Structures are given as structure tokens and as C-alpha cells.
């Protein structure tokens, strides 16, 4: 349908435009509605009979036209008070970006609020919460990898190794030593970060393809070691019987020696409690990852990550030590994978090397790249596309990888920088008023 042109300097003309637009809408709607709504084929016995539904058809066409007129009028009112050309240079894209820029926090908070309310929604079942939990794991992993790939620009194809380190840390510490989740969680992060540094050292001088190959190898090494070092990791059989999480010491079991969760709160036992608790746990962990990254971007280290991604030589000439910057990116990115890994362990109750194949790395990387390197919101959208959509379209399971590939190609063709490709400045300065040439006030202090 043609976009209406609104001439702001001549209101009568614009009303005429609205009328014209409405007429056009009516014609198009009618043409479409006759075959789709007006005529209905019905099988009578084995023959086809045609029925008519004119009343419904006109009602719907009327509704369409009314809706269109409303939209037009609404736009008219919004545009009219402005000067003829409110934004000389800014195109629709820029405007959208500016809007997105201003409201991105709002969207983020709304998204978080929705996520927090999800378990209490009437439509949410155990299945919804389970998918939600999986989704959040990937969002968290995406955010973690975003530090390494998106911010620091270090292409890491073996990120799943750190996820594995975290998962096995918890699995082993809890089953062998009987340590609780809350003790193991920071330890898992620490171990993963250590592995991040171990990987970081040899690849300090590598960039791009070479870095990708080495990290890919590293990811495989971890998996192969876990598979073959049977005395340590129980090999391909994996580790089972990993303690499930407790509510800060109160178990979610129906009955236990100590107080259980439902006894603590005096509510009836439900197997749902643990699921919901896990959901909130990963929501909190993912939230932490996001919060941390957003803070980091404003601090010198985070800035240095981004600067390193853009230009390593420039960084050196500005007195940034690339070694420290790279290692910190690897370590912190790995740390969040470690957290996610130990969550994965406690959620599944079982880990084996099979969960940490290259495919996982590829999916996480795809989430970061599709989302638009460095964009936090982009990661969420991409994780949605890569985790939730395939879940919904389970019926097409055989075609999943095919669709995945097609989607990748399409996005790379249509939006090579990712869904949310443009980087948000960490700081925006207000336009200075005419008179006061004295100072430029940044929104945030350095």
C-alpha cells in the first residue's frame, strides 16, 4: 500500500490525502476479501459448493479501512505541529537508531521485567520455563562471549571449553568433595578464568583466522581430555548424581532430613519449585553478566577492549598495553562461561563431554555475530532466533540446520553487521546551548 504523503504546510491537502488513501485501502481490501472471505468453498457430499459471506466481508473491509484512516490521522497529528522538515539529514534509519538509543535501557528493563514475571504468567507451563532457562543460558553465554569477540574483537571458536571447565568444576567438587553450589559457583568462574588466561598467553600475538584456529583447537583439547582422562572425569560416561541446587541450603525435595523449601515457606510441595528457582538463578546470573559488561564498557579496561578491536596499533600508540587487555578479556569472558557451566551442571544433574562439542561453540558464536558484535540487546534477539524459534518449530526438526544456514546467509547478506549492528556510544553529550560556550557536560563522569 502506498505511503501517504503528508504535506504539513497545507492541512486540507493532507486530509484529502487521507481520504484518497482510505479509498485505495478499501479497494485493495475488497479485492482481497472477495476471494478470501466473501466466497467460501464447502464440501457437500463429494461436490464442492460455494457459499457467500458478504456481511462478514463488508464488516472486515470496513474495519480495515477504519484502521487505516485512524493510523493516517494519528500520523497527521504527530507530524503537523512540526516545522516542514524537522530533521534535515537524519534518515529513517538514523531516527530509528536514535530512538533505539534513547529507549534501549527502557526496552532492556521491560524485557527483564517480563522475564522475571514469566513463571507467574497464566500461560507459562513447566515447558515454557524450561525453554526459558535454556534460552537464558545461551543469552548468558552469548553475553560472556560478547566480551571476547564482540568487545575485544578476538575471534574465539573454543568458548565452550570454558563452559565445560565450569560444568566439570562444579560436578567434581560437589560429587567428590561435597561442596555446595554457592561455594562452587565462584570457584568454577575462577577456574574458567584461569583457563582463559592459559589460552590467552599463547594467542597473544595472533589475530583473526590464526586466533580462530588456535581457539578451536583449544576447545577440542578440553573436550578430548575430558573424554579420555577417565580417572579424572569418568570419560565418556560422564558424571552423574550431581547435587541439585538448594534454596540457600533448603532443599527442593519432597522430604529431607533438614527443612525443605516448601516447609520453610509453609506451602505445598510442588516439583515446579525447583524449576522456577533454576529459572530465577540463571536470570540473575545472566543479569549479572549483562550488568557487569555494561559497567565495564564505561571503565578504562572495557574501553580498551573496544579500542583493541578497532585498532591494535593505535592502542599501542595511546599507551594501552595490549597484553593485559587481551588477557583480561579472555579471563572475564571465560569466567562467565564458567558460571554458566556450573549452572548447567546443577540443572542437568549430569555432565558428559558430549555436551561441549564444537557445535555449542558455533551456536554461541552465531548468537554473538548475528546479534551484531558487541550489542547486548542483539545477543538476546539472536539467542531468541537460534534457541527459541527452533524449539517452536520442532516439527521441522530435520530442516533445522538447513533453516539455520539459510538464516545465517540471509542475515549476512541483508545486515552484514548483525541484527543490532551499530555500536551504542557509551556516552552521549547533549547539544550545547547557544550562549554557554564554556563547558561540555558529559552525562557520565569518566
CA–CA separation, 224 and 382 (whole Å): 29
Q: Is residue 100 near other proteins by the rule CB under 8 A?
A: no
Residues 423-442 touching other proteins, rule: CB under 8 A, are 423, 425-429, 432, 439-440, 442
Q: In the bound complex, what is the minimum distance in angstroms from residue 421's beta carbon to other proteins?
A: 10
User: Which of 99, 127 has the CB closer to other proteins?
Assistant: 99
CA–CA separation, 446 and 428 (whole Å): 12
Other CB atoms within 10 Å distance of the CB of residue 190: 16
- Report whether 229 contacts 239 (CB < 8 A): no
User: Which of 322, 390 has the CB closer to other proteins?
Assistant: 322
Size of the chain in residues = 446
Listed residue (235, 236, 227, 259) closest to 246, CA to CA: 259
Q: In the bound complex, what is the minimum distance in angstroms from residue 146's beta carbon to other proteins?
A: 15
Q: Is residue 193 near other proteins by the rule CB under 8 A?
A: no
User: Which of 17, 424 has the CB closer to other proteins?
Assistant: 424
User: Which of 11, 442 has the CB closer to other proteins?
Assistant: 442
Phi, psi of 48 (to 5 degrees): -100, 135
Q: In the bound complex, what is the minimum distance in angstroms from residue 240's beta carbon to other proteins?
A: 47
Sign of CA dihedral 58, 59, 63, 66: positive
Q: At what angle do helices 181-200 and 160-172 cross, to 10 degrees?
A: 140
Other CB atoms within 10 Å distance of the CB of residue 201: 11
Q: Is residue 93 near other proteins by the rule CB under 8 A?
A: no
Q: How far is residue 263 from each of residues 126, 144, 244, 255, measured CA to CA in Å?
A: 22, 37, 18, 9
Residues 304-323 touching other proteins, rule: CB under 8 A, are 304, 306-307, 310-311, 313-314, 316-322
Q: Is residue 94 near other proteins by the rule CB under 8 A?
A: no
Q: In the bound complex, what is the minimum distance in angstroms from residue 373's beta carbon to other proteins?
A: 10
Residues 331-360 touching other proteins, rule: CB under 8 A, are none
Q: In the bound complex, what is the minimum distance in angstroms from residue 257's beta carbon to other proteins?
A: 56
Residues at the contact surface with other proteins, assessed by CB under 8 A: 300, 303-304, 306-307, 310-311, 313-314, 316-322, 423, 425-429, 432, 439-440, 442, 446
Amino acid at each position: 500500500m502506498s505511503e501517504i504523503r503528508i504535506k504539513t504546510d497545507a492541512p486540507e491537502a493532507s486530509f484529502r490525502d487521507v481520504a484518497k488513501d482510505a479509498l485505495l485501502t478499501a479497494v485493495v481490501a475488497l479485492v482481497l476479501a472477495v476471494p478470501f472471505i466473501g466466497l467460501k468453498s464447502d464440501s457437500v457430499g463429494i461436490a464442492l459448493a460455494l457459499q457467500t459471506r458478504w456481511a462478514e466481508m463488508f464488516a472486515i473491509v470496513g474495519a480495515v479501512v477504519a484502521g487505516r484512516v485512524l493510523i493516517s490521522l494519528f500520523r497527521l497529528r504527530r507530524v503537523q505541529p512540526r516545522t516542514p522538515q524537522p530533521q534535515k539529514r537524519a534518515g529513517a534509519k538514523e531516527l530509528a537508531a536514535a530512538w533505539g538509543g534513547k529507549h534501549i535501557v527502557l526496552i532492556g528493563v521491560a524485557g527483564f521485567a517480563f522475564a522475571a514475571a514469566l513463571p507467574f504468567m497464566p500461560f507459562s507451563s513447566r515447558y515454557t520455563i524450561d525453554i526459558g532457562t535454556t534460552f537464558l543460558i545461551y543469552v548468558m553465554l552469548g553475553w560472556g562471549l560478547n566480551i571476547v569477540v564482540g568487545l575485544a574483537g578476538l575471534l574465539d571458536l573454543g568458548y565452550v571449553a570454558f563452559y565445560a571447565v565450569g560444568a566439570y568444576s562444579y560436578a567434581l567438587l560437589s560429587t567428590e568433595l561435597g561442596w555446595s553450589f554457592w561455594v562452587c559457583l565462584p570457584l568454577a568462574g575462577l577456574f574458567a578464568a584461569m583457563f582463559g588466561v592459559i589460552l590467552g598467553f599463547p594467542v597473544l600475538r595472533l589475530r583473526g583466522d590464526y586466533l580462530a584456529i588456535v581457539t578451536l583447537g583449544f576447545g577440542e583439547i578440553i573436550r578430548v581430555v575430558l573424554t579420555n582422562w577417565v580417572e579424572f572425569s569418568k570419560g565418556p560416561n560422564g558424571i552423574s548424581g550431581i547435587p541439585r541446587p538448594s534454596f540457600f541450603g533448603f532443599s527442593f525435595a519432597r522430604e529431607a532430613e533438614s527443612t525443605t523449601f516448601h516447609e520453610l515457606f509453609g506451602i505445598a510441595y510442588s516439583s515446579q519449585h525447583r524449576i522456577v528457582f533454576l529459572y530465577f538463578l540463571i536470570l540473575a546470573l545472566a543479569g549479572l553478566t549483562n550488568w557487569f559488561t555494561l559497567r565495564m564498557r564505561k571503565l578504562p579496561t572495557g574501553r580498551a577492549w573496544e579500542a583493541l578491536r578497532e585498532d591494535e596499533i593505535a592502542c599501542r600508540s595511546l599507551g594501552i598495553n595490549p597484553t593485559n587487555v587481551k588477557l583480561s578479556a579472555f579471563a572475564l569472558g571465560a569466567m562467565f562461561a564458567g558460571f554458566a557451566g556450573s549452572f548447567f551442571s546443577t540443572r542437568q544433574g549430569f555432565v558428559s563431554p558430549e555436551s561441549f562439542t564444537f557445535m555449542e561453540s558455533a551456536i554461541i558464536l552465531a548468537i554473538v555475530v548475528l546479534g551484531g558484535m558487541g550489542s547486548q540487546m542483539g545477543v538476546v534477539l539472536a539467542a531468541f532466533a537460534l534457541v527459541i524459534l527452533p524449539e517452536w518449530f520442532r516439527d521441522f526438526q530435520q530442516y533445522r540446520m538447513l533453516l539455520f544456514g539459510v538464516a545465517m546467509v540471509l542475515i549476512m547478506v541483508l545486515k552484514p553487521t548483525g541484527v543490532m549492528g551499530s555500536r551504542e556510544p557509551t556516552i552521549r553529550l547533549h547539544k550545547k546551548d547557544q550562549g554557554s560556550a564554556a563547558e561540555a557536560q558529559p552525562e557520565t563522569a569518566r
